[in-house]
Amino acid sequence: MAKERLVLIGNGMAGVRTLEELLKLDPERYEITVFGAEPHPNYNRIMLSPVLAGEKTIDDIILNDRAWYESNGITLHTGNPVVGIDRRRRVVRADSGLEAPYDRLLLATGSLPFIIPVPGSNLDGVLGFRDIADVEAMLEAARQYRKAVVIGGGLLGLEAANGLMKQGMDVTVVHLLDTLMEKQLDPPAAALLKQSLEERGLKFHMPAQTTEIRGDGRVEAVAFADGSELEADLVVMAVGIRPNIDLAQRAGIYCERGVVVSDTLQTYDPRIYAVGECVQHRGKTYGLVAPLFEQAKVCANHLAGLGYARYEGSVTSTKLKVTGIDLFSAGRFNEQEGDETLVLQDPARGVYKKLVVRDDRIEGAVLYGDTMDGSWYFQLMRDRADISDFRPTILFGQHDVGDAGHGDEKTRVMALPDDAEICGCNGVCKGEIVEAIVTKGLFTLEEVRAHTKASSSCGSCTGLVEALLASTVGEGYEASPKKKPLCGCTDHTHDEVRRAIVEHELKSIPEVMRFMEWKTPDGCNKCRPALNFYLVVAWPGEYSDDYRSRFINERVHANIQKDGTYSVVPRIFGGETSPAQLRALAEIAEKWEVPTVKVTGGQRIDLLGVRKEQLPGIWGDLARAGFVSGHAYGKAIRTVKTCVGSEWCRFGTQDSTTMGIKIEQMTWGSWMPHKVKMAVSGCPRNCAEATIKDLGVVAVDSGWEIHVGGNGGIKVRVTDFLVKVETMDEVLEYTAAFLQLYREEAHYLERTAPWVERVGLHYIKERIVDDADNRKRLAQRFLESQRYAQTDPWKERAEGADRHEFEPLRLVRGVA
Interacting residues with ligand FAD (CB under 6 A): 9-15, 35-38, 45-46, 48-49, 81-82, 108-110, 129-130, 156, 159, 244, 247, 276-277, 287-290, 292, 321, 425, 458
Nearer to another protein, 551 or 788 (CB): 551
User: What distance in Å separates the CA atoms of residue 275 and residue 251, rounded to the nearest whole number?
Assistant: 17
Name the burial class of residue 660, with classes exposed (0-12), middle (13-18) and buried (19+) by CB atoms within 10 angstroms of its CB: buried
Picked from ligand SRM, another protein, ligand FAD, none, the partner binding residue 525 (CB below 5 to 8 A depending on kind) is another protein
Of the residues 632, 683, 695, 768, which one makes contact with ligand SF4 according to CB under 6 A: 683
Q: Does residue 517 touch another protein according to CB under 8 A?
A: no
Spatial distance between the Cα atoms of 404 and 484, rounded to a whole number of angstroms: 34
Q: Is 797 in the site for ligand SRM (CB under 6 A)?
A: no
Closer CB to another protein, 2 or 816, in the complex: 816
The partner in contact with residue 351, picked from ligand SRM, ligand FAD, another protein, none with C-beta cut-offs of 5 to 8 angstroms by kind, is: none
Task: Show the binding pattern over residues 601-640: x = contacts ligand SF4 (CB under 6 A), - = does not.
Answer: ----------------------------------------
Interatomic CA distance for residues 535 and 514, integer angstroms: 15
**Which of ligand FAD, ligand SRM, ligand SF4, none does residue 687 bind to, with CB < 5 to 8 Å depending on kind?**
ligand SF4
Q: Is 685 in the site for ligand SF4 (CB under 6 A)?
A: yes
Q: What is the largest CA-CA distance in the chain?
A: 113
Residues from 553 through 582 that contact ligand SRM (CB under 6 A) = 559, 561, 567, 569
Mask 109-128, x = binds ligand SF4 (CB under 6 A)? --------------------
CA angle 167–172–176, rounded 5-degree value: 135
Which residue in the set 58, 115, 401, 644 belongs to the binding site for ligand SF4 (CB under 6 A)? 644
DSSP-derived secondary structure for 734-745? HHHHHHHHHHHH
Minimum distance between the CB of residue 714 and another protein, rounded to whole angstroms? 17
Q: Is 643 in the site for ligand SF4 (CB under 6 A)?
A: yes
Binding range to ligand SF4, per CB under 6 A, among 226-234, 574-582, 587-595, 643-651: 643-651
What is the DSSP code string of 31-91? EEEEE-SSSS--B-GGGHHHHHTTSS-TGGGBSS-HHHHHHTT-EEE-S--EEEEETTTTE
Q: Residue 750 binds which entry of ligand SF4, ligand FAD, ligand SRM, none, with Cβ cut-offs from 5 to 8 Å by kind? A: none
Exposure string of 198-216, with b = 16+ CB inside 10 Å and e = fewer, is: eeeebebbbebebbebebe
∠ CA 277-278-282, nearest 5°, is 85
Among the residue ranges 8-16, 27-35, 366-374, 630-638, the one whose residues contact ligand SRM (CB under 6 A):
630-638
Minimal distance, residue 581 CB to ligand SF4, in Å = 22
Bond from prior residue into 207 cis (ω within 30 degrees of 0)? yes
Q: How far is it, in rounded angstroms, from Cα 28 to Cα 23? A: 8
Side-chain-facing half-sphere of 320: CA atoms under 13 Å: 34
Q: Which of residues 635-664 bind ligand SRM (CB under 6 A)?
A: 638-639
Q: Smallest gap, in angstroms, from Cβ of residue 292 to ligand FAD?
A: 5
Task: Please name the helix (run of DSSP H) or strand (run of DSSP E) that holds residue 676, with its range, or none.
Answer: strand 676-681
Q: Which of residues 449-478 bind ligand SF4 (CB under 6 A)?
A: none
Does 598 bind ligand SRM (CB under 6 A)? Our answer is: yes
Report the length, in residues, of the chain. 816
Please pick, from the candidates 154, 602, 682, 709, the single residue that binds ligand SF4 as defined by CB under 6 A: 682
Helix (H) / strand (E) element for 241: namely: strand 241-243
Residues 6+ apart with CB under 8 A from 683: 645, 649, 651, 652, 653, 698, 699, 700
Instruction: Based on the shown chain and the rule CB under 6 A, indicate whether residue 709 belongs to the binding site for ligand SRM.
Output: no
| 495, amino acid identity | D
Cα–Cα distance between 645 and 518 in angstroms, integer?
A: 52
Q: Least distance from C-beta 532 to another protein, angstroms? A: 11
Q: Which residues of 70-80 are buried (b: 16+ CB within 10 A; e: fewer)?
A: eeeebebbbeb
Q: Of ligand FAD, ligand SRM, ligand SF4, none, which one does residue 681 interact with (CB within 5 to 8 Å by kind)?
A: ligand SF4
* DSSP string computed for 316-373: -EEE---TT--EEEEE--S--TT-EEEEEEETTTTEEEEEEEETTEEEEEEEES--TT
Question: Residues touching ligand SF4: how many (CB under 6 A)?
Answer: 13
Residue placing its CB nearer to ligand SF4 in the complex, 441 or 684: 684
- Please give the single-letter amino acid code of residue 482: K
- 751 is in the binding site of which of ligand FAD, ligand SRM, ligand SF4, none (Cβ under 5 to 8 A by kind)? ligand SRM
Q: Can you tell me the distance from the alpha carbon of 542 to that of 385, in angstroms, rounded to the nearest whole number?
A: 68
**How distant, in Å, are the alpha carbons of 178, 431, 615, 662, 713 from that of 567?**
72, 46, 9, 26, 20
Does residue 649 touch ligand SF4 according to CB under 6 A?
yes
Between 187 and 601, name the residue whose CB sits nearer to ligand SRM.
601
Task: Confirm if 150 and 173 have CB atoms less than 8 A apart.
Answer: yes
List the end-to-end C-alpha distance of the chain, in Å, as a whole number. 103
C-alpha–C-alpha distance, residues 732 and 38, integer Å: 64
Residue 804 touching another protein (CB under 8 A) = yes
**Residue 614 DSSP code:** G
Q: Which is nearer to ligand SF4, 238 or 663 (CB)?
A: 663
**Residues 539-598 contacting another protein, CB under 8 A:** 548-553, 555-556, 560, 562, 564
Separation between Cα atoms, residue 681 and residue 640, nearest integer Å? 10
Residue from 342, 331, 333, 330 nearest 391 by CA? 342
Buried b / exposed e across 344-371, counting CB within 10 Å, b at 16+? ebeeeeebbbbbbbeeeebbbbbbbbbb
Question: Which of ligand SRM, ligand SF4, another protein, none has residue 551 at its interface (CB below 5 to 8 Å by kind)?
Answer: another protein
Pick between residue 112 and residue 649 the one whose CB is nearest to ligand FAD: 112
Q: In this complex, which beta carbon is closest to ligand SRM, that of residue 600 or of residue 646?
A: 600
**CA dihedral in degrees (683, 687, 692, 698; nearest 10)?**
-20
| Cβ proximity to another protein, 16 vs 530, nearer residue | 530
106's torsion region: left (phi>0), alpha (psi -120 to 50) or beta? beta
* Binding segment toward ligand SF4, per CB under 6 A, in 87-95, 570-578, 650-658, 759-767: 650-658
Give the residue nearest to ligand SF4 (CB): 682
Q: Is 714 in the site for another protein (CB under 8 A)?
A: no
Residues 6 or more apart from 75 whose CB is under 8 A from it?
31, 32, 33, 34, 69
Nearer to ligand FAD, 425 or 445 (CB): 425
Q: Whole-number minimum distance, CB 377 to ligand FAD, in Å? A: 18
**Options 43-51, 231-239, 264-272, 645-653: segment touching ligand SF4 (CB under 6 A):** 645-653
Give the nearest distance from C-beta 626 to ligand SRM in angstroms. 18
Contact partner, 552, from another protein, ligand SRM, ligand SF4, none, Cβ < 5-8 Å per class: another protein
Name the residue with the smallest CB distance to ligand FAD.
12
For the CB of residue 171, give the shortest distance to ligand FAD in the complex, in Å: 15
Query: Quick check: 800 binds another protein (CB under 8 A)?
Result: no
Kindly state the smallest distance separating residue 179's Cβ from another protein, in Å.
Answer: 47
State the residues that interact with another protein by CB under 8 A. Answer: 520-525, 528-529, 548-553, 555-556, 560, 562, 564, 804, 808-816
State the residues that interact with ligand SF4 by CB under 6 A. Answer: 643-645, 649, 651-652, 656, 681-683, 685-687
State the residues that interact with ligand SRM by CB under 6 A. Answer: 559, 561, 567, 569, 598, 600-602, 604, 606, 630, 632, 638-639, 675, 677, 711-714, 751
